[in-house]
């Protein structure tokens, strides 16, 4: 007998409905239905919980199913979910930090020569900063939950050494491009004459604004790369 037949038989012997089994395993009833129809396999941790629930061995539970195939499928699912979560968090954080830098830059240009104090400037920026931090924390909640469910050890074994080396190379390249944009933008901003007495101050402010956008892109690139590829520095290569 295969896994689908076995789980259906074991569930029937215990007089447990699909809904009850789903509740015990923290999955949907549809997931249990797909297992019993042979459309999919549960994740490895769910298989172990099913084995403990029905008090049977893995061989009795899996039947003719290949454990290696199940483990590979489980690893593939976890990796896909983790990759998606990393990409989503990296993009969200990069956009928010980029917008924060842009806001600070444009506000700096506006406040220059306006007669307002530095305290007023930073008080005005504090609301934007707090809002961005709260949005990043909110965006990281599902990511942290998923990472916790996968487990640190499991997450560390999802990638080959070749992929780790490639990820580290991508991080270095993007960090260098990001730093180039940031320092180039800052240099241009600080060498631009924004004095109100400058007859070309309007054009100078446009140039400064463009350079601050370059800084924002650089910061966003650094943030995105650090989150997306920084994980590859957490595992040692043998």
CA 202 to each of CA 115, 124, 192, 211, 216: distance values in angstroms, whole numbers, following the listed order: 17, 23, 11, 14, 21
Each domain of the chain, given as residue ranges in start order, spans 3-65, 76-233
- How far does Cα 158 stand from its chain's mean position? 15
pLDDT at 154 over 60: no
pLDDT bucket at 219, cuts 50 / 70 / 90: very high
Average pLDDT of the residues of the chain: 79
Task: Tell which wins on pLDDT, 153 or 102.
Answer: 102
**DSSP string of 30-91, one letter each residue:** HHHHHHHHTS----HHHHHHHHHHHT--HHHHHBT--HHHHHHHHHHHHHHHHHHHHHHHHH
Cα separation, 132 vs 200, whole angstroms: 34
217, pLDDT greater than 70: yes
45 or 97, which is more confident? Answer: 97
Q: Is the pLDDT of residue 201 over 70?
A: no
pLDDT: is 28 or 188 the higher one?
28
CATH class of 3-65: mainly alpha
Buried b / exposed e along 177-201 (16+ C-beta atoms within 10 A):
ebeebbeebbebbeebebeeeeeeb
pTM value > 0.85: no
pLDDT at 48: 85
Strongest mean pLDDT among 99-103, 115-119, 147-151, 193-197: 99-103
pLDDT confidence bin for 179, thresholds 50/70/90: very high
């Amino acid at each position: 007998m295969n896994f689908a037949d076995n789980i259906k038989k074991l569930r029937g012997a215990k007089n447990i409905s699909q809904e009850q089994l789903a509740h015990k395993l923290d999955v949907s009833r549809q997931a249990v239905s797909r297992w019993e129809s042979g459309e999919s396999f549960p994740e490895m941790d769910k298989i172990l919980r099913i084995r403990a629930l029905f008090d049977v061995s893995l061989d009795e539970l899996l039947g003719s199913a290949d454990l290696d195939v199940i483990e590979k499928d489980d690893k593939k699912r976890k990796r896909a979910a983790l990759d998606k979560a990393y990409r989503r968090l990296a993009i969200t954080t990069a956009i928010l930090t980029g917008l924060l830098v842009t806001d600070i830059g444009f506000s700096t240009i506006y406040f220059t020569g306006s007669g307002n104090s530095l305290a007023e400037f930073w008080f005005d920026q504090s609301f934007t900063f707090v809002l961005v931090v709260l949005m990043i924390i909110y965006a990281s909640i599902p990511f942290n939950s998923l990472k916790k469910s996968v487990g640190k050890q499991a997450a560390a074994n999802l990638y080959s050494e070749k992929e780790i080396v490639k990820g580290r190379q991508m991080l270095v390249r993007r960090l260098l491009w990001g730093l180039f944009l940031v320092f180039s933008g800052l240099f241009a901003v600080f060498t631009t004459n924004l004095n109100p007495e400058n007859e070309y101050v309007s054009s100078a402010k446009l140039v400064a604004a463009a350079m601050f956008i370059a800084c924002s892109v650089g910061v966003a690139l650094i943030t995105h790369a650090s989150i997306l590829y920084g994980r590859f520095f957490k595992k040692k290569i043998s």
